[in-house]
Structure 1
Amino acid sequence: MPRSQARVSTDRPHRYAKQLAAHLGRKVESSWDEETGLGSVSFAMGTATLTAAPGALLLAVEGEEENLPNLESVVGRHLVRFGSKDELVAEWHRDNGEPGSVQRNEEEPPAQS
């Protein structure tokens, strides 16, 4: 099954993974294990795994090749929105060597006076 991965630098990987699993779990099946720092989300179009590692949240999505862009987008957009203050960026890399999508907070900062 085709796969895409992103390494999101953060000093709070457990917090963001737990929040992402809980939020997405309102619509689809998800799990989060605080002890192991591992989580998963099951979508109709594929799955996502969340791994809290030192200094980063490791994301992986797996599904049919035509579904990878949507899986990347759903997982990445939600995470970036939660981590807007920390300016999280999810840059995906597919296992076939192709670059995946990139999600980042695109909002303009407020003007300083």
Structure 2
Amino acid sequence: MPSTTANVSTPKASRYMQQLCKHFAHKVPVTFDTETASVNFPFGDCRMWADETSLRIECSSADNPALQRTRAVVQEHFERFAWREEPAFNWSPAC
């Protein structure tokens, strides 16, 4: 199963993660607290870990096109919520 990960530097990692989860929960299964989250899209899964300085995001899907979609949905929504910070995403294959 292909997967990819990114670390996004932000002092508001927990806030943005929770905002993403509340938004996605209107349409897909989501579990979260202040430090971790799991979002189950029909086309892939996303797990997140927040700390004081960054948000770690890991996306996985059955194939590469679905992985690209999962990654794009998460990144686009994060960028909308954190537009003042202009977050930088450097995606790399998950280990």
Using CA pairs under 8 Å that are at least 6 residues apart, name the structure with larger relative contact order, 1 or 2. Answer: 2
Return the alpha-carbon distance in structure 2 between the equivalents of residues 50 and 20 of structure 1: 10
Q: How does 1:67-78 map to 2 (within 5 A)?
A: 67-78=66-77
Cα displacement (A) at 1:87: 1.2
- Unaligned stretches of 5+ residues in structure 1: 97-113
Q: How many residue pairs get matched?
A: 94
Q: How does 1:102-113 map to 2 (within 5 A)?
A: none
Partner of 2:40: 42
TM-score normalized with structure 2 length:
0.91
3-state secondary structure, aligned to 2:84: helix
The runs of 4+ residues in structure 1 deviating greater than 6 Å are none
Structure with higher strand content: 1
Partner of 2:84: 85
Partner of 1:109: none
TM-score normalized with structure 1 length:
0.78
3-state secondary structure, aligned to 2:76: helix
Return the alpha-carbon distance in structure 1 between the equivalents of residues 94 and 37 of structure 2: 21
Return the alpha-carbon distance in structure 1 between the equivalents of residues 88 and 28 of structure 2: 24
Return the alpha-carbon distance in structure 2 between the equivalents of residues 10 and 93 of structure 1: 19
Return the alpha-carbon distance in structure 2 between the equivalents of residues 91 and 78 of structure 1: 16
Computed over aligned residues only, the root mean square deviation of the Cα atoms, in angstroms, reads 1.3
* Residue 16 of structure 2 corresponds to residue 7 of structure 1: no
